[in-house]
Amino acid sequence: MTTHHTSPLASLYKWVFDSEFKHGYQRQVERSIALLIVASVIAVLIENTPEIYNDYAHWFHWFDVVTVGIFSLEYVLRVATAHLHPDFAGKSFPRLRYALSFYALIDLIAIAPFYFARFVDVDVEMLRVLRIMRLARMFKLSRQIVPAWHEFQELNQGRSFRAKVFAMLEPTGHSGRLHTYIDNFIVFWIALSITCVIFETVEAVRSLFATEFMVIDILAFSIFTVEYIARVYAAPENPKYKHLSMPRWTHIRSGQAVIDLLTILPFILESFFSQHLDLRFLRVFRLMRMLKLTRYTSAMETLYKVVRREWQVIFASVFVMMLLVVLTASLGYLFEHPAQPDKFENIPQSIYWAVVTLASVGYGDISPITPMGRALTVVLALVGIGIFAIPAGLLASAFTDQLRIDRDAFKQRLMLAFEDGMLDAAERELIAAEAERLHLSQDEVKRLTDEARAEFAAKEAEDHTHANGLVLDAKAHPALAAAQFKLLVDQLSLITQATGEAHLRKSLGDIKTDHQAELDVLAIVAKRTF
């Protein structure tokens, strides 16, 4: 329930903490606090490495001060506005009740070690314990996760366990906010594991964090393995596979599933075969976890559609580029080989020179010295500006067109959903899933929904008009109204000739209407016709 008070505290609560006020900053505040929690936890973990902490102790200290300051401000504001919270409004001592609640105690524990260490004389061992206690800040995330879990439970009442698993992993009308948090959790571990793989190649960093890297790799492997198994298990719930006899096998053969398998396969091979074979090179393949990020953005799917749709044009442009490269390399070899046999030893080596020249990179390790070679380089550099820009321009234009096509398809889906005059649960689920896949904001979904509803109403009115031969709005369609009036006059003439004027007048007289003038016009037309 949204509060409607006018006090400064009420306004603050509405704009910062009220989840039902759609124009507020509640979601932004939650996301910022969550990011700050993750950053502070990472900082606490890094502090346990003396080689790093001793050099940057000042920066760690001020980061902790800023973090605690923000968390303290959040705690004070939540206590101050507790009487406006739906769970405590109208109760006696609302602020005290809130201060003793679960979330408030978590918030207090998150900042207590900082103030305890500042105002109480403690020894070195106790100081270390207090630093470790700062890891309790992770529990602040429960403020977002627990309500999302309860929401998920309400949305999935009576549904099977497999359907619930699918709703956790894929955006559906039953996913709620929990799906978003699970996605963010997996994306975080993808980014963390990739960062570890990169820094493992630095000897100084690897020697400091060898154990941490191993633990993170094991945890990442476990998380990705559970995700892979869960996706295979829930594959029959996917609308794309429901009509198939072997949905799980179809999912396993899909591109995304292959990528998921390749992200965990190097760890398995290293674990079981490292004693017999040198498989250290497989660690590099853990970077394929980057490809898992394609699932969490529609950009790669859109790019795939673009390439598949415009492959002929892209192939033609690439063919022209390759033709130009080979031709230029051949001419460069012809002009420069006699003067620089070591630099332009053969045509393949000349291709390298042609490519870096066309791309305007120009490393300078190979450069022509003959007049013809230099003239060719000038022409090649100028041509390369336009040639290399063609594929980029094509992709940019096609990418924009594909986004427009996806939105139009989304609007058409909405119009189909409005055919029966209402949206049922299944239609709402499909629309919600498609909106999330296209990363449409609530405002965009509302705008497209209004447009679809208006277009459907207009189409329905037009179909009704054509079916009945009547213009519903003569002011909007004067030409059509005039044409239909002429048709009506002709039909009236035939009726008059067939039935007689008296019978027609009697029929017109039986019509009860407030528009007597129109009936008089019809009577005059009938009389003249007769």
Listed as ranges, residues in the chain with pLDDT below 70 are 1-6, 122-131, 274-284, 297-301, 362-364, 388, 411, 415-434, 436-442, 452-487, 489-530
pLDDT at 165: 92
User: 169-186: b or e for each residue (b if 16 or more CB lie within 10 Å)?
Assistant: bbbbbbbbbbbebbbeeb
pLDDT at 408: 75
Contact criterion met (CB below 8 Å) for 144 and 30 = yes
Cα 146 to the center of its chain, rounded Å: 23
pLDDT at 526: 55
**156-296 CATH fold:** Four Helix Bundle (Hemerythrin (Met), subunit A) (1.20.120)
pLDDT at 222: 93
Query: Which has the closest alpha carbon to 32: 56, 66, 1, 80?
Result: 66
**1-144 CATH fold:** Four Helix Bundle (Hemerythrin (Met), subunit A) (1.20.120)
pLDDT at 530: 45
pLDDT at 518: 58
Contact criterion met (CB below 8 Å) for 314 and 337 = no
Q: Which CATH architecture is the domain 311-387 placed in?
A: Orthogonal Bundle (1.10)
Domain ranges of the chain: 1-144, 156-296, 311-387, 392-468, 478-529
* Sign of the CA dihedral with 172 first, then 173, 175, and 176 last: positive
- How far separated are the first and last CA of the chain, in Å rounded? 71
Query: Which has the closest alpha carbon to 430: 176, 168, 173?
Result: 173
Q: Alpha-carbon distance 117 to 120, whole Å?
A: 6
pLDDT at 483: 64
* Domains 1-144 and 311-387 alike in fold: no
